Amino acid sequence: MKPPIGGQAVIEGVMMQNGDRVAVAVRHLTTQEIVVRPLPVRRRFPRLGRIPFVRGTFRLIDMMSLGMRALNVSTQIAFPEEEQMGRGATFVTFSAAILLGVGAFIVLPLFLAQSIPGLRLGHPIVSNLVEGCIRLSLFFAYLVAISFMKDIRRVFQYHGAEHKVVYAYEAGEELTLDAARGHTTLHPRCGTAFLTTVFVIAILVFSLAGNPALWLKILSRLLLLPVVAGISYEVQRYTGRHFDRPWIRILAQPGLWLQRLTTREPSDDMVEVAIAAMNGVLEGPPPAPTAEAPA
């Protein structure tokens, strides 16, 4: 059985991960040359990262860290003449992004839901369902808003290129432009699909906290985030492995629909970059087995 390979779009390129082998492929904007650079994997909690329903949180932390480093590498390759961020600036940016995400998609939806008359002391499931719908609506609006930005649209195109090449690899096809072109840009192991799963699981898990005061609700959401991440990871992992089953395909549709916002049809030169990234993780000795990489 082939090891699962996935990755993410970066600045003017694609990052692919095959176990402990990671490669970032970027097209240099001046020379138009495709530069492929390996990236070391750092696993902070390797043992905890293998325990079901616990590994999801640590896997997510590792992937976010790897993704940030891949973005830095891609910026260095694509724009070598520009001043690059140091470790300190990268840490501040990463931390600010986390805080902003928690504020926009955890605290704000909760505050808006609590401002609706009747929900403050209503049934916890109803209250959390409304909160979840608000959270999903804010996320949808955010994706629509950034999709109008030219640079983000190019990232979304590289995202589509990554998915096409992953599909070609999974189908056992030769990694060529013609083979990749025939595949869709929507993939069940995508990070966007994972976030959709998170939103649904969060409604169920957050309902366990009942309907206490607002400050206790905020605290409970933060404390239950690892639980949500752990369950969501196992659901996403199972979905990716059994996507050939009809009922799995039905359940995965919302995540695929949302990917229509985060992926775009790529140009041929973008697919070439994704192929270079894929080849970068296929060469050499087989990588160490790890949990599945999101596509």
Confidence at residue 221, expressed as pLDDT on a 0 to 100 scale: 92
Amino acid, single-letter form, for residue 259: Q
Confidence at residue 2, expressed as pLDDT on a 0 to 100 scale: 75
Confidence at residue 93, expressed as pLDDT on a 0 to 100 scale: 78
Residue 31 or residue 120, greater confidence:
31
Q: The tokens 């719908």 sit on which residue?
A: 133
24-71, pLDDT tens digit by residue? 999 988 888 999 999 988 777 778 778 888 898 888 888 888 998 999
Confidence at residue 288, expressed as pLDDT on a 0 to 100 scale: 45
pTM for this model (two decimals): 0.88
In sequence order, the 6+-apart residues with CB closer than 8 A to the CB of 111 are 214
Confidence at residue 84, expressed as pLDDT on a 0 to 100 scale: 64
Confidence at residue 85, expressed as pLDDT on a 0 to 100 scale: 66
Residue 115 or residue 184, greater confidence:
184
What's the average model confidence in pLDDT over 273-281? Answer: 96
149-171, pLDDT tens digit by residue? 999 999 999 999 999 999 999 99
Could you give the residue ranges of the DSSP H alpha helices within the chain? 55-78, 87-102, 108-114, 124-146, 150-170, 177-181, 191-206, 214-241, 246-262, 268-282
Surface-to-core class of residue 87, CB atoms within 10 Å of its CB (0-12 exposed, 13-18 middle, 19+ buried): exposed
Q: The tokens 């369950």 sit on which residue?
A: 231
What's the average model confidence in pLDDT over 272-278? Answer: 96
Whole-angstrom Cα distance, residue 137 to residue 175?
Answer: 38
Question: Over 70: is that where the pLDDT of 121 sits?
Answer: no
181-228, pLDDT tens digit by residue? 999 999 988 989 899 999 999 988 988 888 888 889 899 999 999 999
At residue 118 the predicted structure's pLDDT band, cuts being 50, 70 and 90, is confident
pLDDT over 70 percentage in the chain: 92
At residue 284 the predicted structure's pLDDT band, cuts being 50, 70 and 90, is low
163 within 8 A of 184, measured Cβ to Cβ: yes
Whole-angstrom Cα distance, residue 38 to residue 23?
Answer: 4
